[in-house]
Structure 1
Amino acid sequence: MKPIIIIGSGLAGYTVAREFRKLDKTTPLFILTADDGGFYSKPMLSNAFAQGKQASQLTSFTAAQMAGQLGATIITGTRVIAIDPAAKTVEAGAGKFGYEKLVLAVGARAVRPSLDGDAAEEVISVNHVDDYANFRRAIGEPGSRIAIMGAGLIGCEFADDLAGGHRITLIDPNPLPLAALAAPALSAGLKEALEKRGVDLRLGTTVRSVDRDANAYAVTLSDGRQLQADAVLSAIGLRPDLRLAHAAGLQTGRGILVDDYGMTSAQDIFALGDCAEYGAGSGGGEVMPYIAPLMSAARAVARTLAGTPAAIELKPAPVIVKTPSYPMALLPVPAAGKNGAWQELLHEGRTICRYHDADGVMTAFGVAPQEAGIRQALLAELGSRIRQVA
């Protein structure tokens, strides 16, 4: 019997493996990974410092422990070289493997900025627990100066997390932090909260160059200003890893295109998580690098792998922004509905923002300070508005 093969041992890969094993105890299951296969929660990387967590403390289980839990063969330290959809084989550093069905859970790669300067290659990105270990070493002792490129979700979380012990400069081309996801009122509230934490926001500009300067770095901005930093972190975004998909001839957009069942353009090859573009079978696709859609996709793909085809149900789920100085929940605006407008309301000390599309339908929201009750109320309101239109 040929195995189910999963490429990738991140949250997506291990979650679909766990869900599959709930339904099928006997089919051989292989997991191929380029790293050591340890299980950790990637979202914890951006708020681990304030909790005093070292990289080693973020890994919950080793590959051997995961193999025991899942009844799987986990091959670590092996990079997949090629996929042959016709022959149904995977070629990796550890050999060639035939598969019955294949799951791509290869995640996303950090976007590398194009920078000038003799230290441009020393800019750090944190997209893996090993990256976090390198970052912890680079930032040194409390009080060090850290320049963060990008005031999006990850950049803001890192800035808030590190501000208690370090001097943080947060740099972004937009006029407010979290501008791509949050309503302007919430972005303004976050800006004020970060500034109260001592974060120096340099908005409306980007980093042009990073040069060595004695034991530190000289960071030159596009507006001509310059600052000194002991470490430079790039948090300007992630891009789905499409290298294997392209080499295998799979259809891609921003991500690997999957249908309502998580299947790619090749029979018996599935994709989920940060590498996937969902909804390709419904006339439009969207990359959703968040936990809730990953979990929904994993459950559905696992059922399909086990012989009971199940469509992925992508229900609205707010993103919890891990900025304790300004706790926020956001339901992002759908990619296909960005011709609307935000409406803002102050109610009992909260800023509540609702987004209405061009037809007046509420399709997104944001709230700060956030808590479970108000999130559920807004989700219920969202569902009610959609049902009324339908």
Structure 2
Amino acid sequence: MTDLVSPVVPEARTAGAAPAPRARGPLRRAAPALLVYAAVRALGIVALALWGCVRGSSPHHLLSARWDSVWYSRIAEDGYGFTLRLADGAVHSDLAFFPLLPWLERALSALLPLSVSDAGLVVSALSSLGAAWGIFAVGEVLHGRRAGVVLVALWAALPVGVVQSMAYSESLFTALAAWSLYAVLTGWWVWAGGCAAAAGLTRPVGAAVVAALWLTAAVTLWRGRGERRAPGRARLWLGVVLAPLGWLGYVAWVGVRTGSVTGYLDVQGGWGNGSDGGLAFARFVAGQLGGPAWPAGLGLLAGVALVLALYAAGVRARQPLPLLVYAGVIVALALTAKGYFGSKPRLLMPAFPLLLPVALWLARPRSRAAVPVLAVLAVGSALYGAFWLGGSGPP
């Protein structure tokens, strides 16, 4: 890898590059990845259904009408304005939830005979396939088709992969982020900016997509600073301008609605969210290690070490700049958040570039490890997802 900004598409090495995007090519190129993805997620749903039969719980209810799904459905039905005040003084406002998913739920339920919660499941299912396709496109453009398929399989088989099938915003966000990153890598700046803007309307971490695009654009402009008439520079600037509009627009709207410049941060504070540099998380882990739940504490430490090791491996392998920035921002925000410690695996799920080193190892020519390793991971993900969602589940 010789270029941290534009890895393998020669035309994308200038500000004005606009190669034909492979995502517009025949669907059959991505078909193996999509089929593998669908098979892994179907296995997870089957395991959840069997678990529901044993425990007497409804998989449909678990996937569509618990935790954050209820908040999204309420926004889709009634708009913003609901606040829940808890006995401990916490104030949970629905303004903490970005609007793109409930907008899509409302639109789909208006077009089809679906409840908003079922519309959320449809949006999630379609978005997860879009995310798988985008992840495949990134993997293929960097390292070839086989690596792209393995990368998708690894993402599908994450321990908390069941969230990809829930009426949550993770799948929608990952789809938009993956296609934005792909567009950056191939020089389609306007598409990249549009997807980044939509991602910014989906989750707070949409800022990671904006950062990836902006820093890559800055390096591209710096390298071409001597070219006064670089072709397509206007498209690059348009993408740069478009990228933050979704995130900034919603945060600004919350500020106006709450009457405070820091309105969105105040809303997040009411939920116990925010960032303290990881101090609260460190205290939580230390508390686990010092008590009867010390194995869980060791598991947390191992998980954090694995995430950091995977990111370091990406740096050593000289992954393209947009992938490093995107994954780095997501990891930093997830690990330094001061609340909802059980959510961290879910918050890290969109950081699919972390899986690239493993995908490359499994996708080596003549390697026989890919199929058995991915099969074990898929079964483990299905079993863990059923157990996790049937228990405490994602907060």
Smaller-chain TM-score bracket: under 0.3
TM-score by length of 2: 0.26
Q: Name whichever structure is richer in strand by fraction.
A: 1
- Greater gyration radius: 1
Q: Name whichever structure is richer in helix by fraction.
A: 2
